Structures are given as C-alpha cells and as structure tokens.
Chains A and B, each alone.
Chain A
Amino acid sequence: MNDTIVEARNLIKHYKDLNALDNVNLSLSANRIYGLLGRNGAGKTTLMSILTAQAFATSGEALVFGASAYENDAVLSRICFIRESQKYPDDFQPRHAFRSAALFYKNWDQDFADRLAEDFQLPVKRRIKKLSRGQLSAVGVIIGLASRAELTFFDEPYLGLDAVARQLFYDRLVEDYAEHPRTIILSSHLIDEVANLLEHVVVIDRGRIIMDADAEDIRGSAVTVSGSADKVDAFLAGRKILHRETLGSLASVTVDEALSSRERNEALELGLELSPVSLQQLVVRKTMAGFGTTSTTGDFADDTLEARR
C-alpha cells in the first residue's frame, strides 16, 4: 500500500497571468485507480504533463518511480500518457500508431489492441486526421490500455465517445486492471460515470488540490438533510454547511460531515429526510464552496451534457 510511485512536492506552474498549479503536493501509490477530477482548466492536464516531463514546472519537484522523468528512459519506458489533444504523424493510420506503441512498451498486447479496435469499431486503416473526435479518443484509449504501462494516464478519454463506447472503455479498463494491476490515473469531469471505478479521488481546482481521499472514505462523508427549514437549521446548527437550497418553507442542506447513528435516528424522529451525496455532487459543492458561488447551475452539468452529445 505504501509503495509510492508518484510524488509531487510544492509543484508550481506559473503562466503569464495565472497559476496553473499552485503548490501541489501529491503522493500516489502503486496498483490503484486514481481519479483526477476537476473543472476544465483546473490544472489536470498541466499536472499530468509535468509528472510525465512533457511540460516543465516553474518550481517544485516531481518524482516518478523515485526519480525525475525528464530525459530518463528508465522512468519514461514505464509511463504512458496520451493527451486529450494528442497529435499523430501526418500520414499515420491507427494501426501505425499501435505498431509504434508496440516498439516502446514491453508489455504491449497486440491482440488486446485488435480486440479493442473491433469493440470501438475503429477504422484502423483510415488516416488519423480524417477520424471523428470519438474515433480519435478511441485511438488514445487503445494505446493507453494495450500498452499496459505501469503508470498510465487517461486524459478525459471519453471525449466524443457515445455512451456505449464509454461503458466499453470502463468495462475493459476494470477487467484488464484486474488481470494486470497497474497504476491508472483517470482525469475526468464526468464524475458520476467513473465514480464506481475509482479507488482514490484527487480533486483539483484552480491549481490547488482541494480533495485527496480514498473513495471509501468519501462515500458517506457528507449527507443532505431535507425537511422544514426551521427544523433542518436547528438540527444542523454549528455544522459545516456545504450547500443550502430552499423551496418555500422547505430546505435541503448538504453538510460536509457524517452523521452518527444516534444523530440519524434523531433526524428521522424530527421528520427530516436524509439522502446520500454522490461523489459528483460532493465535488461540485466543494468546488463551488471554494469559488464562493451559490449558483445551483454548475458547469459540471453543462459539461456532462456536452460530453454526451
């Protein structure tokens, strides 16, 4: 469990007018599935790029397998990071890209890649620049899965993929992970879809890590209490409120705390209703709390719709 393979220390990435990463400290262990969650532009891709030495930090240290990945073949050969906007050589077809990956990943499984291409109905003999957005994503997903790199990053791998293809990806990922354990970092803003896959969740917002916890610990770490407003408020007085919604005399309040069974009974006796908070809701609420907005129409809902188109 304490087999740390990624360690970020005080990572800062400063662009002209913004801090893409603002003092990020992170430590990831071997053989787990991590979710790197956050809004667009929160710093997810920047963080992954710096860990894999595709980009450079302004200051701080990023260690992968105990060393910096920069120009370090021993480390690089164990990493795969196909970015969301990955570019391919001009004349390349998907099958060329797969054969390239086979040259560099010692665990590359060509049969697996072929099966995945069939599953995703990917035309492997069409030029990559003529592929649709979803097919382009499929190329990246297949390279990521079939390379079986010890540390694999998926950067919003579902863009343009339809619901069936996305489910296929999640299924294949879990199946293959069970047979060939490795460390997977899945960057996503479709949180509900991936929530069940994740063993550990890292939420990044405006360059800062705002949540870094085991998925198990997060489930049930927050609760929504609803009922008549005065009763709800009285019951929750002094607690850490994440979000509050009212409709007439009714209120629905989310608290960032777990309730003991005694408190649960007490709530039920008062006629209050308790409901669990999904990972997505929790992330949205926490992000918004940090942002200081009280708006109920978050970008997450928009993104979800967008990706499903």
Chain B
Amino acid sequence: MSRTMAVARMQLINKWTYLGWPLTILAASFLMSLAIFALIPVNEGKYGGGSQAPMWYFMVLGIQSMTLVFPFSQGLSISRRAFYLGTLGLFSLIALGMTGIYLLGGVIEGATNGWGVNGYFFKIPWVTDGPWYSTAAFFFIVMMFMFIIGFWFATIFKRWGSNGTLVSTLGTAVILIGLAALTTLLEWWGHVGNWMGQQTPLSISGWAALLCVALAAGSYTTLRRATP
C-alpha cells in the first residue's frame, strides 16, 4: 500500500505535470474565451467550448504515464500493480479537484451573469442543465475517460508496438462501422434516436463510466505482461 502511495507522490514531485500545466491550460483557455466573449457584441448568452482544453492534456498524460513513467517505475523496481493503482489513484484525485473547479466556476459564472459579458465558459447547454451532481459526474467521468483512453492506447502500443496500435484502432473503427451498418440494415435508427433522446448527462456518465472500467481493466491485464 505504501508503495502505491509513493507512486502517486512520485508523480507530484514535479508539480507542473499534474497540477501546474492543467491549471495553466485552463486559465489560458478561460482568459482567451473571455476576451472573445467580450468582443462579440451580442446580448444573448455566448457559449464556448474552451473548458475542454485541459481534457486533451489529460489524454497526453495518460499516454506519457505509460510510455515514460512506467519504464522509470520499473527502474526503481516498482511492481506493475503498485504503478497502476498509484497512477490511476492520483489521476482520480486530479480529476476530482478539476471537477470541483469546474463546478465552482459554473456557480460564479451564473452569479455574475457570465462574467459580466454574458459569456459562458463552464456552463455547457444540456451538459450542465441538470442538478450539480449530474454535472459533477459528467465532468469527472469525461476527464477519467480521456486519461484512461490515452493510457489504454499507450499500453497497447507498449505491448504490441505500432502494428498492435494500428490493428486495435482499425478494429475499433471496423466494429463501429459494422454496428452502424447493422443498425441501417435492421432499420433500427429510429430506436437508436429514441434511446439517445432519453439519455441525460447522468445516464451518459454512467455508460461512459462502464466503458472506463472496461478499458481500465483491459489496460491492467495488458500492463501485467508489459516490459519497459
């Protein structure tokens, strides 16, 4: 257990990686969005997608923890299990903290009528319409998802090289296209549309959480046999 904690602490030794950069990206994206909102002479609510910027960095973090931090952890004779739990645990904490910031930002945004310029950075139509816990769940899961998908692809890459990555990417695409074709053939799009219409941000979070768990479990089994 203490070695798992140490894995998390190790990755916080350089504060920039997990704290400095995500906050910098968020702040920069926020300020740029505000500047643009202020420049648009419209009195209705203005919505931008700038709050997703840190999410892409989380995917990079997911990739790097597998391609660089994992080999380093092996050099320090850290077990694969401790590395995995420590890294995923640390990332959950970061995602939790970021979710808190997003929620708080949303509250301030609402209270100040969009920062005085009617611009909405944290508020996203539909996504943040529900109760606070639905918004929180959505942001948290999306952040986890980005990290885990990066981690998962990097595990595939570490284990099976570029061929494995290519096969799994193409495989995923083929499966998705196949499902779409099947839906068309069976004329199920109506049902699919209905189902989509019934989803709430909370239920989407639930589905995404399931996918996260599946990918996380998958990357663990692959990691168990990965070499640095």
Interface residues of A (CB under 8 A from B): 49, 52, 54-56, 69, 71-73, 76-77, 79-83, 86-93, 96-97, 99-101, 103-105, 140, 143, 149
The chain B residue with its CB closest to the CB of A80 is B77
The chain B residue with its CB closest to the CB of A50 is B227
Task: Tell me the bound Cα distance from A80 to B78 in angstroms.
Answer: 10
Q: Mark B71-93, 1 if CB is under 8 A from A, else 0.
A: 11011111111100000000000
User: Nearest Cβ in chain A — how far from B41, in angstroms?
Assistant: 42
Asked if A103 and B9 sit within 8 Å, CB to CB, the answer is yes
User: Nearest Cβ in chain A — how far from B220, in angstroms?
Assistant: 12
Contact among B3, B10, B14, B75 with A81 in the assembled complex (CB-CB below 8 Å): B75
The 3 residue pairs across chains A and B that have the minimum distance between CB atoms: A87-B71, A76-B77, A103-B6
> Which size bracket describes the interface of B in this complex?
20 to 34
Asked if A103 and B10 sit within 8 Å, CB to CB, the answer is yes
Contact among B3, B13, B71, B79 with A99 in the assembled complex (CB-CB below 8 Å): B13
What's the dominant secondary structure at chain A's contact region? Answer: loop
Asked if A88 and B16 sit within 8 Å, CB to CB, the answer is no
User: Nearest Cβ in chain B — how far from A91, in angstroms?
Assistant: 5
Q: Mark B1-43, 1 if CB is under 8 A from A, else 0.
A: 0010010011101101100000000000000000000000000
Task: Tell me the bound Cα distance from A219 to B178 in angstroms.
Answer: 70
Asked if B79 and A89 sit within 8 Å, CB to CB, the answer is no
Asked if A89 and B17 sit within 8 Å, CB to CB, the answer is yes
Asked if B72 and A100 sit within 8 Å, CB to CB, the answer is yes
Asked if A101 and B13 sit within 8 Å, CB to CB, the answer is no
Asked if B79 and A104 sit within 8 Å, CB to CB, the answer is no
Mind listing 9 A-B residue pairs with CB under 8 Å?
A: A56-B225, A76-B77, A76-B79, A87-B68, A93-B14, A100-B72, A104-B6, A104-B78, A105-B76
Asked if A54 and B227 sit within 8 Å, CB to CB, the answer is yes
Asked if B76 and A104 sit within 8 Å, CB to CB, the answer is yes
Please name all residues of chain A whose beta carbon is closer than 8 Å to the beta carbon of B227 when the two chains form the complex. Answer: 49, 54-56
Please name all residues of chain B whose beta carbon is closer than 8 Å to the beta carbon of A83 when the two chains form the complex. Answer: 75, 228
Asked if A88 and B74 sit within 8 Å, CB to CB, the answer is no
Please name all residues of chain B whose beta carbon is closer than 8 Å to the beta carbon of A91 when the two chains form the complex. Answer: 14, 16-17
What's the dominant secondary structure at chain B's contact region? Answer: helix
Please name all residues of chain B whose beta carbon is closer than 8 Å to the beta carbon of A149 when the two chains form the complex. Answer: 77
Asked if B228 and A54 sit within 8 Å, CB to CB, the answer is yes
Task: Tell me the bound Cα distance from A96 to B14 in angstroms.
Answer: 7
With an 8 A cutoff between CB atoms, is B64 at the interface? yes
Task: Tell me the bound Cα distance from A149 to B14 in angstroms.
Answer: 24
With an 8 A cutoff between CB atoms, is B94 at the interface? no
Please name all residues of chain B whose beta carbon is closer than 8 Å to the beta carbon of A81 when the two chains form the complex. Answer: 75, 77
Please name all residues of chain B whose beta carbon is closer than 8 Å to the beta carbon of A97 when the two chains form the complex. Answer: 72
Please name all residues of chain B whose beta carbon is closer than 8 Å to the beta carbon of A76 when the two chains form the complex. Answer: 77-79
Q: Which of B3, B17, B72, B81 lies at the interface centre, i.e. has the most chain A CB atoms within 10 A of its CB?
A: B72
Please name all residues of chain B whose beta carbon is closer than 8 Å to the beta carbon of A103 when the two chains form the complex. Answer: 6, 9-10
* Besides A76-B79, A80-B75, A88-B72, 12 other A-B contacts (C-beta < 8 A): A71-B80, A73-B79, A76-B77, A80-B76, A86-B71, A87-B67, A87-B228, A90-B17, A91-B17, A100-B72, A100-B76, A105-B76
User: Nearest Cβ in chain A — how far from B83, in angstroms?
Assistant: 10
Task: Tell me the bound Cα distance from A83 to B72 in angstroms.
Answer: 10
Please name all residues of chain B whose beta carbon is closer than 8 Å to the beta carbon of A69 when the two chains form the complex. Answer: 77
With an 8 A cutoff between CB atoms, is B69 at the interface? yes
Asked if B64 and A90 sit within 8 Å, CB to CB, the answer is yes
User: Nearest Cβ in chain B — how far from A34, in angstroms?
Assistant: 18
Task: Tell me the bound Cα distance from A139 to B6 in angstroms.
Answer: 20
Task: Tell me the bound Cα distance from A11 to B30 in angstroms.
Answer: 57
User: Nearest Cβ in chain A — how far from B82, in angstroms?
Assistant: 7
Asked if A90 and B225 sit within 8 Å, CB to CB, the answer is no
Asked if B77 and A89 sit within 8 Å, CB to CB, the answer is no
